[in-house]
């Protein structure tokens, strides 16, 4: 895509998907209200002062005051300097996203919907009813024909083992890390923090230890391995890295997000456990963060906010995504019928915390007025006001957990198809790659040439426990897809997207 086409596309997208003209005028008026109100007062004050005295009179009076009170003036100057120094010392260090890379498996890992069903039948463990249920799930899943599965699941018959699971993990981790190190030209020995998240497969030694060993990282590297935290663990890893970069001076933090499927393909007939097996696919991402001020000029984004909300104290939320054995002793991840309701409550809680940080005052006033009207004045007419998050963000990266989740969020947040496009296309092209899906979505947005300096991107994900986590990024420069080929899995095929995804896509049973 040429720069002219990109600019045209961006301008068109703003016109189609931005706020309406009346709302935009309201927003501008509220945002600039202090200047509008104070400008006349400031002008009147300046006029009155100019009539009472001259600049030379003010200068002379100031010099006389300082001369007469030299010790006091010196003490005030020292106090101001100390307060300024203390404020600077306590201010959080900015965290920059230098770059990221998403893993793209080779063609030998491609699994079409028909291939998935053929392998399920070849496993010899599913009843006819379970196979039919899987077929119906795949037909309505929103997944395309080019997703990826690990080698062990594509063998005939499937042969999952610890060795194959390790091989999958190493291929995903090292493949993504190699790309991001190549893109950034950062040496492995300069990495001071490593955070890895993988929910279901956590061997000994850990994935973090594998990275330290493979890249021969320094002995004092701070390494962390997060397990069992679900699809939102990628943003938990980002938040942890952000906290660590506040205490580790001038260093780099490597964050790796993935889910390893080899040993976690459910081989039983419990329907609540079969659903997740149909949606999850092979993938992962590596993200390189830094607190080095010198790297700001070449970084892509600055981390603005991370917001984490946890509903684990509620038993219903805690058990809505639960790994356990079925009646036959097969281990799987059961999805409760309460999942969508719990996710909706978690999303509401997260937005409630995030809103005051990112929403313009114009939206906060409307939300407050709606809340007061309903809770205080008892006005029940109409639905509660939903803040327009499009006023706060240009880009949305919503975890591609499944079509039903994306449909519900699109409706509740009143987003357009354009805003949902990165999530829907990621689900179609890659499937549910767990915590790494947010990075495939941001990579899609970049490959489309949509990211401009100053744009804000919102990543939001849900995870077992039950958790809802957000991260807000601000672009520090325009992202030119023509100069960003390494590590972006979309660039060679981005011209093919978006595609129309039917509500039902038939799967031929062989």
**Six token digits for residue 123:** 């496993």
Tell me how far apart the alpha carbons of residues 71 and 85 are, in angstroms, rounded to a whole number.
Answer: 21
- Whole-angstrom distance, CA of residue 221 vs CA of residue 241: 13
CB 264 within 8 A of CB 330: no
Maximum distance among all Cα pairs of the chain, rounded to whole angstroms: 98
E strands, 56-213, are 96-102, 110-111, 147-148, 191-197
Separation of alpha carbons 78 and 89, rounded Å: 16
- Mind spelling out the 3-state secondary structure of 54-88? CHHHHHHHHHHHHHHCHHHHHHHHHHHHHHHHHHH
Q: Which of 109, 311, 395, 419 is catalytic?
A: 395
Residue among 102, 198, 231, 468 flagged as catalytic = 231
> Annotated catalytic residue: which of 197, 269, 350, 432?
432
* 248 classed as catalytic: no
User: Which is catalytic among the residues 202, 270, 310, 330?
Assistant: 310
Whether 395 is a known active-site residue: answer: yes
State whether the Cα torsion 245-439-491-164 is positive or negative.
positive
Distance, CA of 177 to CA of 285 (rounded, Å): 8
**CA 187, CA 215: separation in Å to the nearest integer?**
10
Q: Is 397 helix (H, G, I), strand (E, B) or coil?
A: strand
Instruction: For residue 355, give the nearest of 299, 309, 322, 323 by alpha carbon.
Output: 309
Task: Label the pairing between strands 96-102 and 252-259.
Answer: unpaired
**CA-based nearest residue to 117, from 99, 102, 130:** 130
**21 exposure class (CB count in 10 Å sphere: 0-12, 13-18, 19+):** exposed
Q: What is the 3-state secondary structure (H, E, C) of 485-506?
A: CCCCCCCCCHHHCCCCCCCCCC
Torsion, Cα 507 508 509 510, to 10 degrees, reads -140
User: Token pair of 428, please?
Assistant: 């179609």
Write the CB contacts of 361 (distance below 8 Å, at least 6 apart in sequence): 30, 31, 33
310 is catalytic: yes
Catalytically active residues are 231, 310, 395, 399, 432
């Amino acid at each position: 895509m040429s720069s002219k086409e990109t600019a045209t596309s961006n301008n068109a997208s703003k016109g189609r998907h931005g706020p309406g003209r009346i709302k935009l005028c309201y927003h501008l008026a509220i945002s600039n209200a202090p200047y509008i109100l104070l400008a006349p007062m400031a002008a009147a004050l300046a006029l009155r002062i100019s009539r009472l005295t001259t600049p030379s009179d003010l200068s002379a009076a100031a010099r006389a005051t300082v001369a007469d009170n030299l010790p006091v003036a010196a003490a005030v100057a020292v106090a101001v300097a100390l307060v300024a120094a203390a404020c600077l010392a306590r201010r959080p260090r900015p965290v920059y996203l230098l770059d990221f890379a998403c893993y793209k498996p080779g063609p030998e890992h491609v699994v079409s919907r028909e291939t998935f069903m053929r392998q399920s039948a070849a496993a010899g463990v599913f009843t006819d009813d379970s196979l039919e249920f899987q077929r119906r799930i795949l037909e309505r899943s929103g997944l395309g024909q080019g997703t990826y599965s690990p080698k062990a699941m594509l063998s005939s018959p499937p042969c999952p083992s610890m060795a194959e699971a390790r091989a999958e993990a190493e291929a995903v981790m090292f493949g993504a890390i190699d790309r991001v190190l190549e893109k950034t030209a950062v040496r492995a020995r300069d990495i001071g923090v490593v955070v890895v998240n993988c929910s279901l497969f956590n061997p000994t030694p850990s994935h973090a230890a594998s990275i330290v060993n493979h890249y021969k990282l320094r002995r004092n590297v701070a390494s962390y391995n997060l397990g069992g935290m679900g699809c939102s663990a990628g943003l938990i890893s980002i938040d942890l890295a952000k906290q660590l970069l506040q205490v580790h001076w001038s260093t780099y933090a490597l964050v790796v997000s993935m889910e390893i499927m080899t040993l976690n393909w459910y081989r039983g007939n419990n329907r609540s456990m079969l659903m997740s097996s149909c949606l999850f696919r092979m993938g992962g991402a590596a993200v390189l963060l830094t607190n080095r001020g010198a790297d700001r000029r070449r970084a892509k984004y600055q981390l603005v906010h991370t917001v984490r909300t946890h509903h684990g104290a509620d038993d219903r939320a805690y058990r809505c995504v639960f790994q356990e054995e079925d009646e036959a002793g097969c281990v799987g991840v059961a999805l409760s019928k309460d999942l969508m309701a719990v996710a909706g409550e978690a999303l509401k809680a997260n937005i409630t915390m995030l809103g005051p940080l990112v929403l313009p005052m114009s939206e906060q006033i409307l939300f407050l007025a709606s809340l007061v009207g309903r809770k205080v004045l008892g006005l029940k007419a109409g639905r509660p006001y939903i803040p327009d998050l499009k006023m706060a963000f240009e880009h949305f990266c919503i975890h591609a957990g499944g079509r039903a989740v994306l449909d519900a969020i699109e409706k509740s947040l009143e987003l357009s198809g354009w805003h949902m496009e990165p999530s829907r296309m990621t689900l179609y092209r890659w499937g549910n790659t767990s915590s790494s899906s947010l990075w495939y979505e941001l990579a899609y947005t970049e490959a489309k040439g949509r990211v401009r300096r100053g744009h804000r991107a919102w990543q939001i994900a849900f995870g077992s426990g039950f958790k809802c986590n957000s991260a807000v990024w601000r672009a520090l420069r325009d992202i030119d897809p023509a100069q960003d080929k390494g590590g972006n899995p979309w660039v060679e095929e981005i011209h093919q997207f978006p595609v129309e995804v039917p509500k039902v896509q038939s799967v031929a049973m062989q």
